[in-house]
Each structure stands twice: as structure tokens, then as C-alpha cells.
Amino acid sequence: MQVPFFEIQGVSKYFAKVIANKDISFSIQKGEVLALLGENGAGKSTIMKILYGLYRADEGKILMDGKEVKITCPKDAMKLGISMIQQHFSLVPAHTVTENIILGNVKGRIDHKKCHEDMKKLADTYGFDVPVDAKVSELDVGVQQKVEILKALYLNARLLIMDEPTAVLTPQESETLMQFVKSYTEKGNSVVFITHKLKEVMEVADRIIVMRNGRVSGNLKKEDTNETELSRLMIGKDLVQPEKDSGPMGDKAKVCLKVEGLTIEKKGEAPLLRDISFNIREGEIFGIAGVSGNGQEELCEAITGSLKPTAGHISLNGEDITGLTVRERIGKGIGYVPVDRHRDGMVMPMTVAENMMLKESFGSKWANHGFIDKKKLNACTQKAIEDYQIKAPGPDARAGGLSGGNQQKVILAREVSVGSELLILNQPTRGLDLGAINNIHTVVLEERKAGKSILLVSTELSEIFEMCDRIAVMYKGSFMGIYRSEELNTEKIGLLMAGYAQEKEAAGNE
């Protein structure tokens, strides 16, 4: 066997609260696509950030072509030909594509014109359609990713590390990316592909490193393994999928939420929402698929009341709620699990109990004459901790100290209790491990059984297909159509997500 391009030997990394990596060893060969598979928090990104010099290892060493190298900062890594594309792109949104690419790679006075031309040439060489003088904030995420790749190519990277690169892409965009990866490695370069998606691994990787709890739990060739084995190595046990029945009442159930012609439009800008109409019956899960950023969040917030629509109506159980405030809608029984729990869902420095009362701090549910009823609040929180199997020391534990999955369970517990009629879930399982996802799916299906109406936004197609009774696909603020889940498959939904209307729909829509 040839000397590996890069070799990681016995690397450990401790963070303040967790062991991120423990005794990690593996190698990266020239010309191969290496997949780094594992759940969120398994330590995949950390080990790669160490290789790229963003973090410093507490123990262990790194070899290149069989010789030990010291990588203490990204500059060192770049000199060795390593580039890394972070999961959340590290681009400066207010600057142009060119400025982003040359950042840190030019000296002295900048000749903007010449730089633009160089970048254009670079983009053309690789067949990337990127407007080099546009501001990054004006670009779609797919294009932003190309900018990140261009940054690496500009530095003549020979090892490209990509952290969850397909998370923000449509199936078709992912396909293009895979083709790039193949042609890039054919030239003798190497790619490390960090992901938690099994399907992707089987599609693109030559070799697979599986990580669990900061350690390597498997190092396999693609030919020698299958999805079941990988899943077991990744999770450490077999998971039982929650069962979904046919639903309590089906088409005859009463309509709970009715949305008619909902539009949000600022003058001179593309509409955030365009003429959205649908309804959700009791005991129904209505799914919204689409690449994130196509109006899903705006739709959720228009229904919860924090965004005002410019046209259209929303009614709940026959009552028009379009003019009601957020607080009034909470009172009507609308629960909402937002996509970004750090920003919109929780107050991290507060306790779990305090977070449980966030939606209902007015009124007498948790208070006597303005004074908080601590006893009642703690008792209810304790019950939620038990019912939802939340791993927390107690009601007075700081919410920010819980793991992501447990934080999400706290929010879900609160919203299930608030949302007696309608539950809106915006990517409720994003970034969680499979165990927590399983838990949350079970709860959602139970609520469906109890007759609640559920709006589920997700970018994970598997989740959409598994959970939903009906599916709408969103693209640039519009519905591309509403389908029963049996009517769609991955390819069809992928086209809809990219904005290609189905032929049978096209006539009706245009």
C-alpha cells in the first residue's frame, strides 16, 4: 500500500464540557473520496478542524507523506494544500465574491479590476457559473457553496474537506456537486466528505470512517459494507421506527386551519409569500418540503402572528385570526416550534422551568397577582421532564446547558401544551441525533392521533415522506402544488423543489 497522503495518529481533543475526539487515527489516500460519517456531535467536524489548524489537538500527531507536520493555524494547512469548507459558510455577506476569495491571499494595494478578471478566469476554468462582482448576500446558497469551492481551488488545494455540503442543496444541486467531487479526485486530489446521511455516503465515498461519541467506530471500504451496518456503527444500536396509522378520521375530519391567498410582499422586492392557500384537518400532518429559505419560515410566522401578511386570510376552527396578535393566537391554541431554537425558541441563560412559561407569562396560568407560582411551574416542568425523557438535572437547570436534543424536547413539551389546536413544527429535528429524532417523531404522531392539526416544515425528504399525510412543495414563496404523499417520489419532489412545475400543474399555474 502506498504512503498515505495524510495520516492522523492518536489525536484527542477536550472541550470544556465534552470529549470531542478521543484517540482518533485514520489516513487519507491520494485520489480518494473519504466519507466521515457520524451523528451530530460525534466529533467529525472537530477532527477535521484540527487537521485544518482551526483547533489545536490536545494529544496526537499528523503526518503528511509519512512525515510529521505541525499544523497550528489554517495558514499552515493551506501551505500543505488543505482547504476546508465549513458547514456554515465562512463568507463575508457584505463583500463581493472576488473580495471573499482574495481575503488573506493578497498583499498591499488591491487591483480590483485585475482581481475580478482573475476570478472570472478561475470560475470559467472549472465551469462554475458565479458572478464574481456580486455581493455574497445576493447569491443563493448553492452559488455561495461554489464560491467556497472556488476559494479552495484558488489556493490549489489538493485535499478538500467539505462539512455537510449537501445540507442546503436541492437533490439536483447535490448531484452536480458529486460530479465535481469525482472529476476533482480523478486528478489525484483527495476529498473528505463530512456527513450524517447514509445514502450520500454510499453514493460518493470510496472509503468510510464512522465516528461515534468522539471515537472511530468503523473504517470500511464501500464495497465491503451496507447501509444497515453503517447505521449500527453510527448509532450503536438498532432503532425502532415509529409506526404511523391511517389517521383518525382522514378526509371527513373537520378543517382546523384554513389559509387563503396569503401573500407577503414589500414594494419593489420579490414577494416572500405569494398567494398561499391550503387547509389542515384535525388529525392531519401537512408537510412543507423545499430548500430552506424559500418562504417556509415566513409562512410559519404569518400563521403564528409575528409577520403581518399584506393580503390573504388565516382562520382557525372557522374564526378569522388574521388580525390577532401573537399573544392572542397563543391563547387560541397555536403552538410553534421554530427552526432556530437558539434565536427564536429558547432563552438559553434561563432555567428549564422559566423556559416552560415563556409563551404564557401573561395571565394566571403560572402567576398569582403578577408573582410567579414557582411551585406549580416546577411541578409541571418536572412532569414534562419525565414524560418527554428530557435529560436535565431538574427544573432549575440552565436551558443552555442541555444538549440540543434535550433543548428541543423542552420546546416541544411547551408547544404541545400551548398548541391545543394546531402545532407548527419548522424543521423540528434539524441537527439532532437519530435517537432524539425518533423521540420527536413519536410525540408528533401521538399528537396527530389525538386529533391535533400539524404543520410540518422539513428539508429532509425522508422525514417528509415518513410523517406527512399531504405535502406541499415551496419554491420562492409559492406552493408548487399540494400532493398526497403517495403521489410523489424523490425525483419528482426534487424537480419541484428546484422550481420546475409538474407538467400537469404547469397548465393550471401559469
Partner 1 sequence: MNDKDKLKDLIITNFLAIAAGLILSGLMLMLLHINPFTVFGDALHTMFTDKYTMGDVLLKATPLIFTALAFAFTFKANLFNIGAQGQFYMGAIVAIAASLKMDGVVPTPVLLLIVVVLTFVAGGLIGALIGFLKARYNANEFLVSMMSTYVVQALMNYLLRTFLLETKGEYPQTDAISREAWIPTLIPGTRLHWGFVLAVLVAVGVWILLYKTTLGYRIRAVGSNASASEKSGIKSKKVFVIAFFISGALAGMAGFTEINGVQHMLIQDFNTSIGSSGLGIAILANANPIGIIFASILFGALGVIGNLMGRMPGLNIPSSIVDLMQGFVMIFVIVSYFLRAWMANRREKRRLQKVVEK
Partner 2 sequence: MVVSLLARALMMSTPLLLGSISEVIAERSGMMVTAIEGIFLMGAWGGFVGAYLTGSSFAGILLAMVCGLLMAGVYGFITIHLRQHQVVTGTALNILAAGLCTYLQRVLFGVPVSPLKISPLPKLAIPLLGDIPVIGEIFFRQNILTYLVYLIIPLSYFLLFKTSIGLTIRSTGENPEAVDVAGISVNKVRFLTVLAAGIMGGLAGAFYSVGYLGMFTSGMIGGRGWIAFAICFLGNWNPKGAVIGTLAFGFTEALAIYMQTVGGGSYFPNELFIALPYILTIVLTVARRNFNVPAQLGTPYSKEN
Residues at the contact surface with partner 2, assessed by CB under 8 A:
15, 52-55, 73-78, 84, 86, 88, 90-95, 99-100, 102-110
Nearer to partner 1, 17 or 114 (CB): 17
User: Of partner 1, partner 2, none, which one does residue 350 interact with (CB within 5 to 8 Å by kind)?
Assistant: partner 1
Q: How far is the CB of 10 from partner 1 (least distance, A)?
A: 13
> What's the Cα-to-Cα distance from 118 to each of 20, 111, 112, rounded to whole Å?
40, 11, 10
User: Of partner 1, partner 2, none, which one does residue 94 interact with (CB within 5 to 8 Å by kind)?
Assistant: partner 2
Q: Does 301 bind partner 1 (CB under 8 A)?
A: yes
Q: Which helix (H) or strand (E) holds 474?
A: strand 470-475
User: Of partner 2, partner 1, none, which one does residue 126 interact with (CB within 5 to 8 Å by kind)?
Assistant: none
Cα gap 452→421, rounded to integer Å: 6
Q: How far is the CB of 362 from partner 1 (least distance, A)?
A: 7
Site string for partner 1, 353-392 (x = CB under 8 A): -x--xxx-xx---xx--xxx--------------------
Q: Residues 295, 262: contact at Cβ < 8 Å? A: no
Q: Residues 296, 288: contact at Cβ < 8 Å? A: yes
The amino acid occupying position 97 is: V
Cα gap 468→486, rounded to integer Å: 10
Give the one residue of 172, 213, 279, 306 binding partner 1; rule: CB under 8 A: 306
Q: Give the three-class secondary structure for 142.
A: helix
Task: State the residue for C-alpha cell 411551585.
Answer: 375
Q: How far is the CB of 346 from partner 1 (least distance, A)?
A: 6
Give the one residue of 1, 2, 16, 245 binding partner 1; rule: CB under 8 A: 16
Give the one residue of 1, 2, 17, 245 binding partner 1; rule: CB under 8 A: 17
Q: Answer left, alpha or beta for residue 373, where phi above 0 means left and psi between -120 and 50 means alpha.
A: beta
Backbone angles phi, psi at 192, to 5 degrees: -110, 125
Cα gap 33→324, rounded to integer Å: 53
Nearer to partner 2, 147 or 181 (CB): 147
Q: Give the three-class secondary structure for 294.
A: coil
Nearer to partner 2, 52 or 479 (CB): 52
| Rounded-to-10 torsion of CA 172, 173, 177, 180 | 80
Q: Residues 302, 273: contact at Cβ < 8 Å? A: yes
Q: Give the three-class secondary structure for 195.
A: strand
Nearer to partner 2, 117 or 396 (CB): 117
Q: Answer left, alpha or beta for residue 159, where phi above 0 means left and psi between -120 and 50 means alpha.
A: beta
Q: How far is the CB of 437 from partner 1 (least distance, A)?
A: 23
Give the one residue of 38, 43, 165, 345 binding partner 1; rule: CB under 8 A: 345
Q: How far is the CB of 58 from partner 1 (least distance, A)?
A: 8
DSSP 309-375: -SEEEEEETTEE-TT--HHHHHHTTEEEE-S-IIIII--TTSBHHHHHTGGG-SSSSSEETTEE-HH
Number of residues counted as binding partner 1 (CB under 8 A): 38
Nearer to partner 2, 77 or 422 (CB): 77
Which range binds partner 1 by CB under 8 A, 124-132, 219-227, 347-355, 381-389?
Answer: 347-355
Which range binds partner 1 by CB under 8 A, 102-110, 258-266, 270-278, 302-310?
Answer: 302-310
Cα gap 19→214, rounded to integer Å: 7
Q: How far is the CB of 381 from partner 1 (least distance, A)?
A: 14
Q: How far is the CB of 469 from partner 2 (least distance, A)?
A: 40
Nearer to partner 2, 77 or 256 (CB): 77
Give the one residue of 347, 379, 450, 506 binding partner 1; rule: CB under 8 A: 347
User: Of partner 2, partner 1, none, which one does residue 349 interact with (CB within 5 to 8 Å by kind)?
Assistant: partner 1
Nearer to partner 2, 64 or 493 (CB): 64
Q: How far is the CB of 256 from partner 2 (least distance, A)?
A: 40
Q: Residues 467, 244: contact at Cβ < 8 Å? A: yes
User: Of partner 2, partner 1, none, which one does residue 484 interact with (CB within 5 to 8 Å by kind)?
Assistant: none
Nearer to partner 1, 366 or 483 (CB): 366
Q: Which residues pair with 368 in a beta bridge?
A: 371
How would you classify the pairing of strands 19-28 and 6-14? Answer: antiparallel
> What's the Cα-to-Cα distance from 149 to each of 130, 132, 165, 172, 207, rounded to whole Å?
11, 13, 10, 18, 22
**Grid cell listed for 392:** 436535565
Q: Which helix (H) or strand (E) holds 228?
A: helix 227-235
User: Of partner 2, partner 1, none, which one does residue 347 interact with (CB within 5 to 8 Å by kind)?
Assistant: partner 1
Q: How far is the CB of 17 from partner 1 (least distance, A)?
A: 6
**Grid cell listed for 510:** 401559469
User: Of partner 1, partner 2, none, which one does residue 77 interact with (CB within 5 to 8 Å by kind)?
Assistant: partner 2
List contacts with partner 1 (CB under 8 A).
14-19, 22, 301, 304-306, 325-330, 336, 338, 343-350, 354, 357-359, 361-362, 366-367, 370-372
